[in-house]
Structure 1
Amino acid sequence: MNLYVSLLRTGVPALVGWLVALAAGYGLDLDPAALAGVAAPVVSFVYYALFRTAEVYLSPRWGWLLGCARPPQYPVGKAALPPA
């Protein structure tokens, strides 16, 4: 379940950033490559930071705008990778 939640909470801001960059290209005389290369990641980061901060400091309900109302929970003290 953690994998699903983490992927969802990464994918939703990326999708929002792409859609905003795409929408910004309409009506503006901007280079599409610049929009895709700069605007999409910046908007994605700002979107995630805004709603993650709101989720922590205001209410967990804001997490729904990231795709899931709770961040993934990782066990404490376990190694991230299996032993070699």
Structure 2
Amino acid sequence: MLLPSVLRTVVPLVAGWIIVAVTGLGFSIDSDVVQTAVAFGVAGVYYLVFRIVERVAERVAWPVWVKGAAGALLGWARPPRYSSSDDVAELLRQSRS
């Protein structure tokens, strides 16, 4: 499925932009390039924090809702599952299902 991957990419980027906009991080800087870099940095930290929580929750005996909440904050409650295949046609077929 392609949708979980897209959501898990877009949601942290939007969350990073919102966090920077709401908190004022980087917006006292005049350079648009620096502001964008700060927003991407915050988005990366956002993704990393919730991905680590998600991974730890599945390895440790934490309540199931913790893993689900971390995944939901990344845009999709479960990480996408990829099958190992070198057959491009099969991979395309799987991405459409």
The answer to whether TM tops 0.5 is yes
Alpha-carbon distance between aligned partners in 2 of 1:46 and 1:29, rounded to the nearest angstrom: 21
Aligned match of 1:64 = 72
**Sequence identity percentage:** 36
Alignment of 1:1-84 (within 5 A): 2-25=1-24, 29-31=28-30, 33=32, 34-36=34-36, 38-58=37-57, 59-61=66-68, 62-76=70-84, 78-79=85-86, 81-82=88-89
Alpha-carbon distance between aligned partners in 1 of 2:14 and 2:35, rounded to the nearest angstrom: 14
Q: Do the aligned partners of 1:52 and 1:63 also contact (CA within 8 Å) in 2?
A: yes
- Give the letter aligned to residue 65 of structure 1: L
Structure 2 unmatched runs, 5+: 58-65, 90-97
Alpha-carbon distance between aligned partners in 2 of 1:66 and 1:40, rounded to the nearest angstrom: 16
Aligned pair count reads 78
Structure 1 unmatched runs, 5+: none
Aligned match of 2:61 = none
Structure 1 ranges of 4+ moved more than 3 A: none
Offset at residue 65 of structure 1 (A): 0.5
